[in-house]
């Protein structure tokens, strides 16, 4: 962007002219809905499930994810929080944190459709894994480990793309006003 701006200034030949700052384009927003499955450390036993609703807003240097998670058994208040990813310089590394201050760490994008997590939770446990964005949705495979690095749980998120009206209807159902 800077090179394009410098080139346009040079081509215009206007010395000292004030050029308005380039506006960042509107974010790309995608909505997802699906299931989170919690498994034993070796994956042989399902320990629980939850429903996840996600609004993902992507800008050139940041990603914001608004999440609503609800236990499958019902009766419990859904958990809502915002996850923010901010790009570090010109690298493919993003600093990640959430509004509830439950975790922080890094996400590295191996390519536009896949990434690696390295996060630490406030209680000292670790969360690592991978994510992929495919035509059928967003999928993650994470490992929750104790402070010593021993796996305690596998967390699998399998979310499909939904349109905004469906997202809004699902959100109203999960979080009654």
Q: What is the biggest distance separating any 2 CA atoms in the chain, rounded to whole angstroms?
A: 69
Under DSSP, the state recorded for 130 is: E
State the Cα–Cα distance between residues 112 and 132, nearest whole angstrom.
9
Q: What is the pTM of this model?
A: 0.82
State the Cα–Cα distance between residues 155 and 144, nearest whole angstrom.
7
Whether 147 contacts 125, CB under 8 Å: yes
Higher pLDDT, 160 or 18: 160
Q: What is the pLDDT of residue 16?
A: 41
Query: Mean pLDDT score of the chain, rounded to an integer?
Result: 86
State the Cα–Cα distance between residues 68 and 33, nearest whole angstrom.
10
State the Cα–Cα distance between residues 103 and 72, nearest whole angstrom.
23
Q: Tell me what percent of the residues of the chain surpass a pLDDT of 70.
A: 85
13 pLDDT higher than 90: no
């Amino acid at each position: 962007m800077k090179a394009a701006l410098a080139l346009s200034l040079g081509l215009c030949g206007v010395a000292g002219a004030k050029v308005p700052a380039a506006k960042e384009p509107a974010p790309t927003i995608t909505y997802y809905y699906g299931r989170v499955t919690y498994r034993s450390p070796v994956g042989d036993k399902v320990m629980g499930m939850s429903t996840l609703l996600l609004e993902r807003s992507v800008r050139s240097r940041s990603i914001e994810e608004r999440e609503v998670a609800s236990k499958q058994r019902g009766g419990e208040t859904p958990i809502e929080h915002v996850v923010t990813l901010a790009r570090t310089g010109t690298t493919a590394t993003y600093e990640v944190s959430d509004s509830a201050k439950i975790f922080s760490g890094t996400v590295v994008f191996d390519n536009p459709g896949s990434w690696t997590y390295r996060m630490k939770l406030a209680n000292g446990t670790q969360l690592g894994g991978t994510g992929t964005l495919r035509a059928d949705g967003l999928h993650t495979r994470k490992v929750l480990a104790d402070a010593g690095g021993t796996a305690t749980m596998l967390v699998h998120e399998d979310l499909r793309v939904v349109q905004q009206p469906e997202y809004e209807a699902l959100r109203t159902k999960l979080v009654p006003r």
